[in-house]
Chains A and B, each alone.
Chain A
């Protein structure tokens, strides 16, 4: 029966499937397959302690970062080694590799933070790590993406996992709320992004960035309304992911409700992936149309900078403060994007790399200091942190100084880089606004530092106790206020690494800067010579 059916079929001609350079896909495969393998093992070996999964996640993400090294050698070997594979859908250039490492390291550090967190909250299990790694593989896909469809799928992989991660704390209402808010708004913004892709496809006849660029450089569009509408819609989708104003409304609520290690990941890797998309699509592909999109980013950057810094000051919850501060950092990154020059891209990459460490560090401190339930995040709770845990307070001070852009920390060079790129591109007013908002934001960071170090004596963050306030009970309150904080090993290592990176490369930023300089994005079609090797 089957044979007769087959015989009736017309002769089957083979489809020319595209050549695949597996080496280029290695980092992605390690991360994604690692996540899936962990899932498989987890379903068989049920009773393993949570730390095993944490260690495995750290190892897998470090291996991902290590697989990049030979690729990096290859791409920086000669000037023209950048290429693409899989029918031009996957880019192979320094840019994608650089961001892959940033994302992989974010996963490793967040996984270390998550270990202690899960134990404290009684949520042990491999799910968080699995989702973290799968989400990161989406981020890696985004940084590799040379095709709008691939970019979209990467974005969805990244986001859907993060929606779940935000709602991960199933016994905490705010976490559920964060998850549902992020999901509804995120799905909405994805729809905008998809609509934008459709518009651009309509205007240029392709979803492949290389083809789009070639088409646009060879053709003068008589009417570019469709293309511009596509820009606008895609920018909405991407600006939502990086939390740029006015697409930032989800950020404070989600950051506040979501588990702190997840927030660390969201603020670092998700932002990096979002900017990977913005740079590859706008700075690289639509380079020719920069006069159309640059002003939009200019305005977005100004709004983001000012809103982020001003609203951060009025917060009384430290987690919300850092959420608004992450909005203002997105503004600085947009300043670098707006320059639309190689120098701007370098500055953004440098910023993303060092910002990941400082933001993971700060949310790491919040993870540990938040106490059971991850709720003790008001400014009052942070009063006297230096007495309860000097190391933690000291580390937090480093991260906050760095976020404020104090010299001798990485944050200084990061801000210096994007602002000088803006001045290079003759966006003087933008640079001025960036500097002003850095000063405003510095006030916020100082507020936290003052609370941690100087405000501990009069009030121990136990207002209710103080009201009872006989002298004898005051002594008890004292003890409660000075209760030392246990720092779990994983979180300790992660915070230590972040602090070390922030200080060491703050004094000696050369290595990261050199890497960022070599990590330029390129749009290169597959060379025919390579195709032959591939076949």
Chain B
């Protein structure tokens, strides 16, 4: 019973966090939601008696990796809400939503429908360690890493080396000027971008106008919203001009 309650609470925490990561408009909030998800996962690991994994989850993921995310977000100065409403390909959001939802339903149906019917070993490796001694998690993991998965474990070294080399290569300051983008590609893209920005600005203006009309009775809130909308539109126009130059 306790297990179920713990699971339900943690699952809720994890799911809310995961949705928050993609729904939050501010990247910093996204990162914080990610920490929430990772903490929820850590508790789930504990309820599965994988104590070591839970500790690693908190220390490495929540403690180190997300903090690095935050550093990057703040150093790059992208800690602002972005206007993501421009659709590069018309209708792609809708299609993506349909396909994503279909895949999700299929996966849930698969997992829910087959959980009892599998004849395979449901506990693939057996419980991690004896229940009485709490130290055995580490031992079992070590044994797995140095027997069955030793090759995969060692090969990860190459992966880490590549990550370092790649990061250095890409972050290295370039000498010399940027090469010009071929004219034809540039024109197409800029015209395309400009058209989209114009459309969006028009849309925002229309919204603002509608809001102003609705708020003519004297609602201060509506007019301020309209003003902020106008600002965004102006910003965009400025951006577009910057792109032109």
Contacts and interface: CB of A to CB of B under 8 A. Distances in A.
Interface of A: 15-18, 32, 36, 39, 86-90, 122, 127, 130-131, 134-135, 137-138, 141, 147, 149-150, 153-154, 156-157, 160-161, 163-164, 167-174, 179, 199, 201-206, 208, 215, 219-223, 225-226, 228-229, 373, 375, 378
B151 A138 contact: no
A160 B162 contact: yes
Contacts of B148: 18, 87-89, 147, 208
Interface string B119-131: 1111010000000
A225 B114 contact: yes
A167 to B, nearest CB: 6
Contacts of A160: 159, 162-163, 166
A131 B119 contact: no
Given A205-B124, A222-B117, A127 B165 contact: yes
A147 B113 CA distance: 27
B147 A157 contact: no
B118 interface: yes
Contacts of B91: none
Nearest to B139: A15
User: Ordered nearest first, which 5 A-B pairs have the shortest CB separation?
Assistant: A223-B117, A164-B166, A205-B121, A89-B151, A225-B114
Given A87-B147, A160-B163, A168-B169, A206 B124 contact: yes
B114 A131 contact: no
B29 to A, nearest CB: 21
Given A208-B148, A219-B120, A39 B165 contact: yes
A391 B45 CA distance: 64
A127 B180 CA distance: 24
B159 A157 contact: yes
B159 A156 contact: yes
B219 interface: no
B178 interface: yes
Contact of A203 (B118, B158, B166): B118
B161 interface: yes
B85 interface: no
Interface in B124-182: 124, 142-143, 146-152, 155-156, 158-159, 161-163, 165-166, 168-170, 172, 174-182
Contacts, number: 142
Contact of B147 (A18, A202, A219, A229): A18
Nearest to B119: A222
Contacts of B177: 171
A134 B161 CA distance: 9
Given A17-B146, A173-B178, A161 B110 contact: no
15 contacts: A15-B147, A39-B165, A86-B151, A87-B148, A87-B151, A131-B166, A147-B151, A153-B155, A153-B159, A160-B162, A168-B169, A172-B179, A173-B181, A221-B118, A378-B184
A15 B150 CA distance: 12
B242 to A, nearest CB: 16
B150 A87 contact: yes
B102 interface: no
Contacts of B119: 219-222
Interface residue tally of chain B, by bracket? Answer: 35 or more
A149 B149 contact: yes
Contacts of A17: 146-147, 150
A514 to B, nearest CB: 31
Nearest to B148: A87
A32 B150 contact: no
B100 to A, nearest CB: 12
Most buried by A among B110, B122, B143: B110
B152 A161 contact: no
Given A32-B158, A127-B165, A174 B181 contact: yes
B111 A375 contact: no
A222 B118 contact: yes
Given A89-B151, A90-B151, 15 more contacts: A15-B147, A18-B150, A86-B150, A134-B165, A135-B162, A147-B151, A157-B162, A164-B165, A170-B169, A205-B124, A206-B124, A219-B120, A225-B114, A226-B111, A378-B184
B155 A150 contact: yes
Contacts of A156: 159
A171 B152 contact: no
Contacts of A86: 150-151
A171 B184 CA distance: 19
Contacts of B202: none
Contacts of B165: 39, 127, 130-131, 134, 164
Nearest to A25: B151
B99 to A, nearest CB: 11
A203 B119 CA distance: 8
Nearest to A151: B152
Contacts of A36: 161
B185 to A, nearest CB: 8
Nearest to B180: A373
Nearest to A173: B181
Nearest to A164: B166
Contact of B120 (A130, A135, A169, A204): A204
A201 B158 contact: no
Given A122-B176, A205-B121, A89 B152 contact: yes
B86 interface: no
Contact of B174 (A18, A32, A170, A202): A170
A131 B147 contact: no
A131 B142 contact: no
Contact of B169 (A89, A164, A201): A164
B107 interface: yes
A17 B148 CA distance: 9
Given A130-B165, A208-B148, A170 B158 contact: no
A15 B146 contact: yes
Nearest to B123: A205
A226 B118 contact: yes
